[in-house]
Amino acid sequence: MHLLLPLCVLWLLPLAWTLEEDSPLDCVPRRSFPYHRDNAHLFHEEGVFNYSTMLLREDLDLLLLGAREAVYALDLKDISKKLASVKWEVTQQQKNECKNKGKDLETECKNYIRILHQTEDNRMYVCGTNAFDPECDYMSYANGKLTLEKKGEDGKGKCPFDPFHRYASIMVENNLYTATSINFLGSEPVLMRSSPISIRTEFKSSWLNEPNFVSMTQMPEGYMSEEGDDDKVYLFFSETAVECDCYNKMVVSRVARVCKGDLGGQRTLQKKWTSFLKARMDCPVLESQLPYIIQDTYRFCDPQQDWRDCLFYAIFTPQSDKSDLSAVCAYRVSDISRVFAEGKYKTPVPVETSFVKWVMYSGDVPVPRPGACIDNAARKANITKTLDLPDRTLQFIKDRPLMDQAIQPIGNKPLLVRRGARFTRIIVNQVQAADGEKYRVMFIGTEEGTMLKAVNYDGEMFIIEEVHLFQTPEPIKILTFSNLTGQIYAGSDYGAAQIPLATCGRSLSCMDCVLARDPYCGWDKDVRKCVFLSNSPRGLIQSVKKGDASLCPEADPVKPMNRSIWPRGNLKLRCPSPSNLSKTSWERDGSPVMASTRLQLLQDGLLILNATDSDTGRYRCLSVELSKAGRYTATVADYQVSVAPAGSGDGSGILPKARMDGPSVAGLQAIVGLLVVSLLGLLAWNFYKGHLPLPWNCTKKKNEEQTQETREQGGLDAYQDAARSAPAEDKPLVSGANNGRSNNHTGREESDGPKVSLPSLQYIDDESEV
């Protein structure tokens, strides 16, 4: 029995290590940057909200930004510069009709721009919710002006009625594909192509069951296809699973696709998709019991590779409030295409009287294959368009649009899992690093208005940084990237932001630059700066896979700063941590500093309390950071601390010496004087009203009255003596109050002045407050 326990521990240790390696659920950004106006170029116009639709017009150097009741043309290189704008507001009559339908006048009964696409004649096609009456129009940009043509096309089925419902759209060869609700109540979801022949999905729960549309994209699968295949349009969404054998509703993630040349059926599925197929998408997270829900996707294609090598990056969040994890999974387009082209179908089977169970279909599959595009094999059978498809094939796909096989991510696990704010949007950019390899960097927006920059290095999840883009924590609703400018553009309810792919200058040392493991940045030994890789003609120091900071030259020593403190005083030595992955430690005269009641190790420094002569010495703050290449130590701060002799007047502790003649002392003396005058006035009023006897009103008990008079006079004298001595007794408090004001009139730190020990005063963490 005694030998069994150690054996079990030895057996479980490799399993625990495997779980920890495969699922580091606490992946944190190496650097976190709070909001600052220098983080990004920002655009916001007073009174306008919901900047959630973007169109890049790199041919015009414009970013077209759709917001609530307005469209803006912004400078692509600096979006804080507005070049033109056009208002698209609803009329008062439309507002009243919207209000009469039970909608909120201030939020819902507005025109939210939702569709913004470029047409082949270089105009823009724009649609808005238009107070729950969707409308579309054409827009042009010429001579520095945006102009709406005011054609007023019906937007039903193109644009959502409800401005807060998810939707998806794409323009392919002047044909608009949209996924939204076609009715006012939002109860009839459709995937629709508006022109040249309107085609949509069936109103059946087996096709779309309470969907939440996410995104849409095109794949050129017909380009130089040996099979004569057609291009596809892919739709990503989530919906209530019809195939789930459970009492409660379960939401699953889906990918569906249709063929670009689909014209519908001749009799069955007239003006309906004959190629609509859908499959479940899985993104397995270790601790999840319910499937994670897809929120956004990004199609990444290397221009030098075939479409089969393209990837879909997708972000997922939990459908249960019990988890705070978000994940990124990547899928090969070839894997998705194979499931639709070769996979089994699911079919509904009636069970008992009212319950339908979905199982894998094992019967004969009609020819041509249901849901397939028209290819060379179909053309040989004289089927040149979907109108020629036999009813048997069409009826099969009408009843069985769901595939049996679920699509799994690359490696059957996420590329990134993070605990905290939920992911909302993602884009991916590829960069060639100094080692010659290409890396795909993920830029992820969150619900808190931050953007993560992350890479997966051979299975290792690594978040380079997190940047707060907006002052208010608004969710990021759109992300897009321009190859022309190398800039990322983000939109939220509050405004739009423009940020570069990398800000290498934030790293001030070679070690910090290398440990950042940013494939865009490297250390230039000649200029001694961390610079953008493509901007330097010289070879740069970089180690993205391992973070090998030993490649760096010897760093310049940190110059020590002199700090002095009065006996029994308090002093804080600051040491900000250079990264979230590093740990700081302190040394005094080469020996480690251990925490005690008088030496407190803080997150951003060291606090010395009730100083004595034994606290003098050389204090060094060291940062230790681990990477795959090793353990690296750097000196962050260096202080020479001395205890000033009493009365020397040159101490630099946190609490300076009390001043006897400052303006705050005079102010306190005036306040005390007013209190004394008020008290004397109160005594006089009591004498006048008779509440207190006057000293000259003699009675038979003269001796007692004289005694009482003596007591009262003595009390008054004592009070006046106390009032006269009050300023001297309160001078430490006056000095403490003066510290806060004197900080506005001095250019040096407050610790340069003398101090006194004041037990009644509490320590102030921020030196600027003292």
Task: Answer yes or no: do 547 and 580 share one domain.
Answer: no
| Residue 410 domain flag | yes
CATH number at residue 566: 2.60.40.10
Task: Answer yes or no: do 407 and 270 share one domain.
Answer: yes
Fill in the amino acid letter for 408: Q
Q: Is pLDDT at 252 greater than 90 in this prediction? A: yes
pLDDT at 728: 36
Task: Answer yes or no: do 154 and 238 share one domain.
Answer: no
Task: Answer yes or no: do 576 and 537 share one domain.
Answer: no
Residue 202's nearest CA partner among 307, 277, 95, 310 is: 277
| Residue 724 domain flag | yes
Average pLDDT over residues 415-426: 95
pLDDT at 653: 45
| Residue 618 domain flag | yes
103-107: long-range contacts (C-beta < 8 A, 24 or more apart)?
103/131, 103/132, 107/163
CATH number at residue 540: 3.30.1680.10
Domain that holds residue 89: 50-168
CB 237 within 8 A of CB 226: no
Residue 224's pLDDT band (boundaries 50, 70, 90)?
Answer: confident
CATH number at residue 411: 2.130.10.10
Percent of the chain exceeding pLDDT 90 equals 71
Task: Answer yes or no: do 241 and 377 share one domain.
Answer: yes
Q: Is pLDDT at 61 greater than 60 in this prediction? A: yes
CB 455 within 8 A of CB 464: yes
Residue 356's pLDDT band (boundaries 50, 70, 90)?
Answer: confident
d(CA 451, CA 445): 5
Task: Answer yes or no: do 280 and 392 share one domain.
Answer: yes
d(CA 222, CA 626): 49
621-659: per-residue pLDDT in tens? 999 999 999 999 999 999 999 998 765 544 444 444 444
d(CA 477, CA 34): 20
| Residue 691 domain flag | yes
Q: Is pLDDT at 729 greater than 80 in this prediction? A: no
Number of domains in the chain: 5
pLDDT at 256: 98
Lowest-pLDDT choice from 282-286, 352-356, 504-508:
352-356
**Domain end call among 117, 147, 168:** 168
Q: DSSP strand E in 60-200: where?
A: 62-67, 70-75, 82-87, 113-118, 124-128, 135-142, 145-148, 153-154, 168-172, 175-181, 189-193, 199-200
Residue 195's pLDDT band (boundaries 50, 70, 90)?
Answer: confident
Q: Is pLDDT at 41 greater than 90 in this prediction? A: yes
Q: What is the 8-class DSSP label of residue 185? A: T
Residue 11's pLDDT band (boundaries 50, 70, 90)?
Answer: very low
d(CA 616, CA 288): 54
Task: Answer yes or no: do 508 and 576 share one domain.
Answer: no
Task: Answer yes or no: do 541 and 569 share one domain.
Answer: no
Lowest-pLDDT choice from 174-183, 391-400, 709-718:
709-718
Task: Answer yes or no: do 639 and 681 share one domain.
Answer: no
d(CA 282, CA 660): 73
570-625: per-residue pLDDT in tens? 999 999 899 999 999 999 999 999 999 999 999 899 999 999 999 999 999 999 99
Task: Answer yes or no: do 264 and 124 share one domain.
Answer: no
pLDDT at 646: 61
| Residue 451 domain flag | no
122-139: per-residue pLDDT in tens? 999 999 999 999 999 999
| Residue 182 domain flag | no
| Residue 395 domain flag | yes
Give the SS3 label for residue 334.
Answer: helix
Task: Answer yes or no: do 546 and 602 share one domain.
Answer: no
d(CA 498, CA 482): 10
Task: Answer yes or no: do 271 and 292 share one domain.
Answer: yes
496-530: per-residue pLDDT in tens? 999 999 999 999 999 999 999 999 999 999 999 99
pLDDT at 734: 31
518-526: long-range contacts (C-beta < 8 A, 24 or more apart)?
518/453, 518/464, 518/465, 518/544, 519/431, 519/432, 519/433, 519/439, 519/441, 519/455, 519/544, 520/431, 520/441, 522/434, 523/552, 525/553
Q: Which residue has the tokens 């006035």?
A: 681
| Residue 181 domain flag | no
